Amino acid sequence: MDALNQRFGVRSERAFLIVPLAGAVLIDIVALPWIVFCMNWVE
């Protein structure tokens, strides 16, 4: 986000809030099934 801010000179407070939150949600959606799969595989 800082790189885009420096390159284009545009700062969006909403983007600084929404983009990290959306990334965290997507990581959680992918990671949860993977963790469950690994735990079931170990048993």
Q: Are 25 and 17 in contact (CB under 8 A)?
A: no
Residue type at 4 in one-letter notation: L
In whole angstroms, give the CA distance from residue 3 to residue 9.
10
CA distance 12 to 9: 10
| Contact present, 25 and 11 (Cβ < 8 Å) | no
Predicted local distance difference test score (pLDDT) of residue 27 = 96
What the block records as the tokens of 31 is 């990671």
Amino acid at residue number 11: R
Rounded Cα distance between 39 and 29, Å, is 16
Domain housing 31: 2-42
Q: How many domains does the chain have?
A: 1
- pLDDT of amino acid 33: 95
Spans of the chain below 70 pLDDT: none
pLDDT at 11: 81
